[in-house]
Chain A
Amino acid sequence: MNDSDSDDDNVIRYGTPLEPFEEDELPSKRKFQQPSDQYAVDSHGRRRFHGAFTGGFSAGFGNTVGTQEGWTPASFKSSRSEKAQLSSQKAEDFMDDEDRSEFGIAPRHMQTQHEFSGQKRKLQQRYHDGPIPGEPVLERLLKAVHETAAVRMLRAMGWRPGQGTGDRVTRAEKLRAKQQHKVYGCYMPQEMKPTQDPASDNDSSDSDFDYETLFAPDDYEPYILSHKSDKFGLGYSGLSRHSVLGTLMGEYGSDASSSRSHLVMKEKGKKVSIRGHAFGVGAFEADDEDIYAAEDMSHYDFTLGAATEDKQKKKVKEMGVNVLEGYVRASKPLPQVPFYPPPALPKDYKPAAAGSRRSRFEPSDQPQRDQGLGRHELTAEARGSLLGETPVPKVPDTTTQPNMPPTEDPIAKLLGRNVNFVSNSDDKTELDYIPIKDSEKPISKVFRPFMNNPKKQKRYELYLKDRDSYMKEGDAEMDRLSEWERNREIVEFEQAAKLYKPLTGVMSDRFTHASEPDEALNPLCAVAKSSTNYGLATPEQIDAAKRGLFGVMTRREVPWRPESLVCKRFNIPEPGGARPEATKEDKPKVSYSIFSYLESSVHDKDSFAKEQSKFSGSKSLNTPNTSKEQDKSIILTASTVNEYNKKDNKTASEIKESHTGFTKRLTVAELFLKESEKDLKDKEQGIEVTETIDKFDKMDLYKAIFLSDSEDEVTSNTEENRDSTNTNEFIDVPKNVQRNTSPPRGIFANIDFDELNSWKRNTDNKQTNEKEAASSANVTDNANVASKDVNIDNIQVIEETYGPKIPDNIRKKLEGDNKSEDSNLKPVFRSQSERDKEILEIDSSSSSDSWVEVKSKKEKKKKSKKHKSKHKKSKHKKKSRS
């Protein structure tokens, strides 16, 4: 054929060729096994395991009964020659050999008969009917120790306990036997053995036993139990380094062949050892190397040679001296019994006779030592120095100036004078506190919060002294601080003043002056009545009361705010109108702790402010005055507003609702209101009042009332608004806030807004030029904007029922117009009179007006706008409506 064939012919092959090895292929760990090798066979070469279909485990033909027939029911045969025998069947009859083997289900093993096992056969217990029925108690308590049969036999043969077994030997023989000692287990190292001097040994004994006597051989040495020195259970060896499954690398006998598991147990004299890994190795798998074996450095020898061994040997040899016969010197010294020294006697201990008891109430000659760690013996300075603090330089105290009149002391004022805590005068030495004077007595100390910054502390004190003037002027040092810093510091001071207002101040409204000092010794002594209470009354008041001049002198009026619920329950309208915040603080926390009472006076702002005002001076009652002023202003505003109300009923009602009532909290709004009124007076146009008002504070109310139904809708007209405001850069009413910026859709799609806007821009620009005051311009602009929205107004006329009814014919017309436009236009609030005018104008204007016409009219409009916004409105209306 070809070359290759010829090559093949030339080569002679033996055996089966290896499979071609491919480099890509990973060499499989498992070797290829012949199919025949894949069956496990028993010792007879029979297959051990069968598949489930062939009978399962060691069952079926071939290895069950051992016959071809297998299990065949035995037929009963009985003939004359062969009589049928009663055969009893045993379980073993149905077992294989393997079952009886070591691993079988009924392994056979040798065992001592029960009668030789040392257990006495239980006699049939027969309890005689004595006075005490049942098993005799004594019999239960005492149980005879039975010797095994072997022991009994040995005894019979002349063996005595303590002797060895075997033939009797002569002494010489015995000695010899001792020399070549038979050791069970392993030999003791030769060196460990006590170096017996056989000569000396012989000397003593030879004299006694000259004659030929036979001795029983020595008993084998009993196993010496090691001294147990730990507290673990018997047999416990601590955590060994051996893994349960593996052996230690380098351990004795850990070579591959004889790898011993620790799972070796002795069972009734027979060793059963489990080899290999629990389930990891199959019947045909070669044992892996011990994968669980752990290496340990202690198994390595780090030294060269046998030097250490020698040393040990020497040591052992030395130790072996002076040991009693029959004893082995302990390799380990006995654990030392720990030695506890007796407790040291206290220095001041005096041994006293046990009988003489000392009463603890007897006065001791020793000075009483302070309880605790003696911290209290130290002064603050000493403690500070111990802690390594640098002592703070003494601040020249501004508040402790002796010439300062006590009533002007700010802190005293702040705290109130009705404080019952008396401090010693030597407190002045302490650094951390500002002594406070009250009626010639330093009554309290205020913590200095800004200790580490003396300057700041100084400023703080100044602040406390006179808040207002400090805020206004500051002091020389303040100039160095920036405005922002200053403001921050003031806030900080405020907080600190609140926070470090001492307890006395906090409790000031809970306590009054003690008119007399408490008698410490006799708590039961009656305290005199405090008929003169200076807690609140000013000296003037007291004086007036003494002279019987009651009235103005003794009277004080303070604004007081009843809770809304109180008013409700008393059926009284709330003074000052409804509070907007009332709903928020609807649910105050309830706590009955004492702290709530303590803190309440400081932590709510009102009371704090009240406190301040209360103590801000007896000469002038600031708060009532200011409140009166406010009252006046409010009345003023209310009255002015009322003027406009006549013109515009709706507006008036609106304003009344929000503003006629007097509240302190509305001051800002009121200020605005006043301003707006000024503007209005200038212009003498009362109509736009609402538009200025709504700018300021009642946005939400306004919205809620007027913008509610069309708030999210966007109209061309709001866009106009937006544009106008943008160009004018005015802060406008929030109508435009929710403006939709998307391009016009639907019916608006065809309207040229740009053009409209451009027109508007022009007008607005002009407007701004003409108007000087921004606010007034704003007002008019708003009005202007409103005026442009004719369609909106129309809707408003229809929807809102204020004012007189619109004639039906007009309404129809308007409705028709609205249908073409968007019906959801945002209504802009305008006064009724305005609207009435518009209606009239609408009436007069022809419906045939077109967009083109509007453009042509633009010029005219601009001119007219200069003079009157009202006038121009009507014209715009016409334009946009048509």
Chain B
Amino acid sequence: MNVMTELTTLTTLKCKQQAIRAVRFNIDGTYCLTCGADKKIKLWNPHRELLLKTYGGHANEVLDAAGSCDSSYIVSGSADKSVILWDVTTGQPIRRYRGQASSITCVRFNEESTMAVSGSIDNTVAFWDVVSRRQEPVQLLKDAKDTITSIQVTDHEVMTTSVDCHVRLYDIRVGKMISDYIGDVITYGSMTHDGQCYILSCSDGTIKLFDKDSGELLNTFKGHESSDYLLENAVNEKDSHIISGSATGEVFYWDLISSSCTQKLVHTTNKPTISLSHHPTENYLLTACEDEIKLWGVRREEN
């Protein structure tokens, strides 16, 4: 494809965090966060291969993290059932929320980073008011009947995916919850940048593209191997390609329209590449495999 220029490994970071549970770009894509099985979060500049800060304070594996819109806070969820709000510069936890009964699997900020949303194995999604000192969740969503696997927050919606095969969209503006039965365990859900489609990684080894408004299946992407991994997916900055890791250690690029696999990046052969994060505006991709993250991008001519 002419649109897709070949991506190559730009940098490789050895995180020394036992296993990377999640890798996340920050809001503008200059930094990234890695959540490790060593209970720590590390802040990197992947472009320069710089370790900036380590955030320690969780009592168990950190499963997800997100940076705030002004990159001054980090919110992280851990298997120790707590959500921690970190101050980026000091590295100190500002607040610790213990309102959910089980491991926190996913956590997100809202658009203005005034609220953190966390999903847990206890089937609940909790809204945490980051601005005030309130310790209890502002709201608990108990609709899911199984583990929440991922959350996406837009300006007026909260999308949650769950092991109970449902994707739920909470529309705050309308006051409505739309749940779609997908028929398979959803390991990760993301939304296209235009906010019109869900991209749902299912445990049957497919990625399904759904229309948000009608709930209709638009496309299915196959080829990767999901095994039992909670594979994540992403969409590139132009909404033209769907990206997903695989249990085989490859990273797949599919064309969104034709659902044909356009590119395969090999992170580490036969080691599952679970977590990945796409740069919000540019053609960069972060993938995590074991304790190693790789930044993929188009190598410039002068380099």
Contacts and interface: CB of A to CB of B under 8 A. Distances in A.
Our verdict on whether A and B bind, yes or no, reads yes
B138 A536 contact: no
B155 A541 contact: no
Given A510-B122, A567-B172, A569-B110, A554 B136 contact: no
Interface in A550-581: 550-552, 554-563, 565-567, 569-572, 574-576
Q: Which of A554, A559, A600, A601 has the most CB of B within 10 A?
A: A554
B173 A575 contact: yes
Q: Which of B129, B155, B183, B210 has the most CB of A within 10 A?
A: B183
Contacts of A548: 217
B146 interface: yes
A571 B136 contact: no
Interface stretch (B22-30, B111-119, B237-245, B290-298): B111-119
A542 interface: yes
Given A551-B214, A566-B139, A572-B156, A533 B146 contact: yes
Contacts of B170: 560, 562
Interface stretch (A211-219, A388-396, A589-597, A679-687): A589-597
Contacts of A509: 123, 142, 145
B174 interface: yes
A533 B185 contact: yes
A707 B177 CA distance: 41
B185 A530 contact: yes
B112 A554 contact: no
A565 B165 contact: no
Contacts of B143: 558, 560
Contact of A550 (B115, B135, B179, B210): B210
Contacts of B155: 570-571
A529 interface: yes
A575 B142 contact: no
A550 B228 contact: no
A597 B101 contact: yes
A571 B112 contact: yes
Nearest to A588: B136
A563 B170 CA distance: 12
Interface in B194-210: 203-204, 210
A531 B204 contact: yes
A533 B165 contact: yes
B183 to A, nearest CB: 3
Interface residues on B, range: 35 or more
Contacts of A572: 156, 172-173
A569 B163 CA distance: 28
Interface string A173-187: 000000000000000
Interface in A516-566: 529-533, 535-537, 541-542, 544-546, 548, 550-552, 554-563, 565-566
Interface in B128-159: 129, 131, 135-136, 138-140, 142-143, 145-146, 155-156
Contact of A563 (B131, B139, B166): B139
B282 interface: no
B221 to A, nearest CB: 14
Interface in B214-235: 214-217, 228
Chain A interface, >50% SS class: loop
Contacts of A600: 140, 142
A550 B177 contact: no
B132 to A, nearest CB: 8
Contact of B164 (A536, A545, A607): A536
A544 B216 CA distance: 11
Interface in B257-286: none
A418 interface: yes
A512 interface: yes
A566 B180 CA distance: 23
B216 A551 contact: yes
Nearest to A510: B123
Given A536-B181, A572-B156, A576-B175, A563 B138 contact: yes
A556 B179 contact: yes
A476 to B, nearest CB: 40
A562 B172 contact: yes
B114 A559 contact: no
A605 B184 CA distance: 31
Q: Which of B111, B164, B182, B210 has the most CB of A within 10 A?
A: B164
B13 interface: no
A566 B138 contact: yes
B178 interface: yes
B173 A535 contact: no
B300 interface: no
B109 to A, nearest CB: 10
A416 to B, nearest CB: 9
Contacts of B203: 529, 531
B57 to A, nearest CB: 19
A555 B180 contact: yes
A550 B110 contact: no
B175 A557 contact: no
A510 B102 CA distance: 11
B47 interface: no
B156 to A, nearest CB: 5
Contacts of A575: 172-176
Nearest to A547: B183
B138 A560 contact: no
B138 to A, nearest CB: 5
A576 B179 CA distance: 21
Contacts of A560: 143, 170-171, 175-177
A569 B131 contact: yes
Given A512-B145, A550-B210, A570-B155, A555 B172 contact: no
B98 interface: yes
B139 to A, nearest CB: 4
B129 A569 contact: yes
Nearest to A511: B145
A475 B101 CA distance: 44
Contacts of A559: 175-177
A537 B145 CA distance: 11
Contacts of A545: 165, 181-184
30 contacts: A418-B145, A510-B123, A512-B145, A533-B145, A533-B146, A536-B181, A537-B165, A544-B181, A545-B165, A546-B183, A550-B217, A551-B216, A552-B215, A554-B182, A554-B215, A556-B181, A557-B176, A558-B176, A558-B179, A559-B176, A559-B177, A562-B175, A563-B138, A566-B172, A569-B110, A570-B112, A570-B115, A590-B99, A590-B135, A600-B140
Interface of B: 98-99, 101, 110-112, 114-115, 122-123, 127, 129, 131, 135-136, 138-140, 142-143, 145-146, 155-156, 163-166, 170-185, 203-204, 210, 214-217, 228
Given A546-B183, A555-B180, 11 more contacts: A510-B122, A533-B145, A533-B163, A533-B165, A537-B166, A545-B183, A555-B178, A560-B177, A561-B175, A566-B172, A570-B112
